[in-house]
A and B are shown apart, each in its own frame.
Chain A
């Protein structure tokens, strides 16, 4: 059976060049970069080289990069570290209703400690109103946190405009750029961000490594206490092989960014147009203008059917995608992103995300377009909501508005 992976926003395969670069750091060059002896010296240069590679991709100084274990760590560190460092200045954070749980759950935890959080709403396309953002800023606002790109819809947020607003009011600006880095150009100077988080496994590096950009002069209380690694900003022995892999992945992403994005974009557009052309009663989730979404992401809902059933059917045909249905989110409610966009609850349960990557081919897109319509039709014919003559009850047709 064919195996087609279209879930690259969840994770990516480690790139061959990345793995090759990493391998020596498990056996021959196993030292701890904090050690002064030959074994340590042999690897500390590799960590610093990786720091330069990461810094170059997002246009900052290597000294502003701190290696961490994952995106969630970076988001926790940015929010909690800011609150701790700036508590005397204020107690208010502004974020959005469509952030990753690493932000939303951290905010909930901070609210329990007395921090006030404004969750900016989005419109039905999932976009922010920057006037709302500006209006929410008070003299107690210590942080604005807005993701660069949304993991479910691929929506790109106007980070440069938000950075300008943050600068105008002298408020610190953090962005979770886990889905954006390596897919679209990310420049921390242009965007005027103070804190940016990226993750290795989304861009062909292994799981368990990421980085946070901390603009020079930004006071941030460490999240992990211990040794003096990372100039006292993040304790813990360096994940040397992972860091080396992250560096190589960033270099590869930077050197092929334009051509990879254009090729993936063509495949995504073909998939999008193909589905829209072949299946009726569907809804594109996210901004209708593909330029305002990540080039690799397509999120679409198929009326009358449920997401997990779709994914299981796709899986039987070898296709890996993901869904915003409650069954796959591990909760009783469908995706909070679909909820924030006021997507009808039945459509939210069927929201299906295809996120393409560098390994996808046109043949794979053709195959998905071939097997998808009959799967949707079969599930629809099994659904009591399809071709229904009697009206839906209020409970059935309710729109979910609850976000938290």
Chain B
């Protein structure tokens, strides 16, 4: 059902955890769908220095969370805002069709964290 890459990120998720005094925090999803993703950002000079995540959800939810942290680290805020859920799924060699809607929210969570970061800056 899942690609090898999904299973790799699911069984060895990267950047799990929280960042204390994070510059931005974003959470998307809800419990009734079975997916909640929370992303923590550390930003220096407009560049994302560190990303951590916590996720309640299925294999796809955990793998996409892990993948989006890898993809976001080192990117500028503007570059990170261009990351899409589709790009995250593609980087994982695709997701099963039924997961594309319900569990593919990691980029949304990242954008939510960036929005929170910008609010704090303003």
User: Is there contact, CB below 8 Å, between B31 and A349?
Assistant: yes
Q: How far is the CA of A34 from the CA of B37 in the complex (A)?
A: 61
Interface residues of A (CB under 8 A from B): 304-309, 312-313, 316, 325-327, 330, 332-334, 345-346, 349, 381-385, 392, 395-398, 400
- Among all A-B residue pairs, the 4 with the closest Cβ atoms: A308-B58, A384-B54, A384-B38, A327-B58
Q: How far is the CA of A312 from the CA of B6 in the complex (A)?
A: 12
A318 to chain B, nearest CB (A): 14
- B10-46: CB near A (< 8 Å → 1, else 0) gives 1101001000000000010011111111100000000
Contacts of B16 in A (CB 8 A): 381-382
User: Is there contact, CB below 8 Å, between A385 and B34?
Assistant: no
User: Is there contact, CB below 8 Å, between A330 and B98?
Assistant: yes
Which residue of chain B has the shortest Cβ distance to A344 in the bound complex? Answer: B31
User: Is there contact, CB below 8 Å, between A345 and B32?
Assistant: yes
User: Is there contact, CB below 8 Å, between A384 and B27?
Assistant: yes
User: Is there contact, CB below 8 Å, between A382 and B54?
Assistant: yes
User: Is there contact, CB below 8 Å, between B32 and A400?
Assistant: yes
Which residue of chain A has the shortest Cβ distance to B102 in the bound complex? Answer: A332
Contacts of B103 in A (CB 8 A): 327
- B34-77 contacts to A, CB under 8 A, are 34-38, 54-62
User: Is there contact, CB below 8 Å, between B30 and A383?
Assistant: no
Q: How far is the CA of A325 from the CA of B98 in the complex (A)?
A: 14
Contacts of A384 in B (CB 8 A): 27, 36-38, 54-56
Which residue of chain B has the shortest Cβ distance to A397 in the bound complex? Answer: B31
Q: How far is the CA of A326 from the CA of B27 in the complex (A)?
A: 20
A389 to chain B, nearest CB (A): 11
Q: Among A313, A316, A349, A382, point to the contact of B34 (Cβ < 8 A).
A: A349
Q: Kindly name the residue among B13, B55, B102 whose own CB sees the greatest number of chain A CB atoms within 10 A.
A: B55
Contacts of A304 in B (CB 8 A): 56
Please, could you name 14 A-B residue pairs with CB atoms under 8 Å apart, sorted by A?
A306-B34, A306-B57, A306-B58, A309-B57, A309-B61, A327-B34, A327-B58, A333-B32, A346-B31, A382-B16, A384-B38, A385-B56, A395-B30, A400-B32
Known contacts A349-B31, A382-B62: A326-B56 contact under CB 8 Å: no
B91 to chain A, nearest CB (A): 20
Contacts of A381 in B (CB 8 A): 16
Contacts of B37 in A (CB 8 A): 384
User: Is there contact, CB below 8 Å, between A306 and B32?
Assistant: no
B97 to chain A, nearest CB (A): 11
User: Is there contact, CB below 8 Å, between A308 and B11?
Assistant: no
A404 to chain B, nearest CB (A): 16
Known contacts A332-B102, A384-B54: A309-B59 contact under CB 8 Å: yes
Contacts of A349 in B (CB 8 A): 31, 34
Extra contacts, 4 of them, besides A326-B102, A346-B31, A395-B30 (Cβ < 8 A), are A312-B7, A327-B103, A345-B32, A385-B36
Contacts of A306 in B (CB 8 A): 34-35, 56-58, 61
B109 to chain A, nearest CB (A): 10
Which residue of chain A has the shortest Cβ distance to B35 in the bound complex? Answer: A306
Q: Among B7, B31, B36, B59, point to the contact of A308 (Cβ < 8 A).
A: B59
Contacts of B33 in A (CB 8 A): 326, 332
A188 to chain B, nearest CB (A): 40
Q: How far is the CA of A58 from the CA of B115 in the complex (A)?
A: 65
B6 to chain A, nearest CB (A): 10
Q: How far is the CA of A72 from the CA of B38 in the complex (A)?
A: 42
User: Is there contact, CB below 8 Å, between A312 and B59?
Assistant: yes
B103 to chain A, nearest CB (A): 7
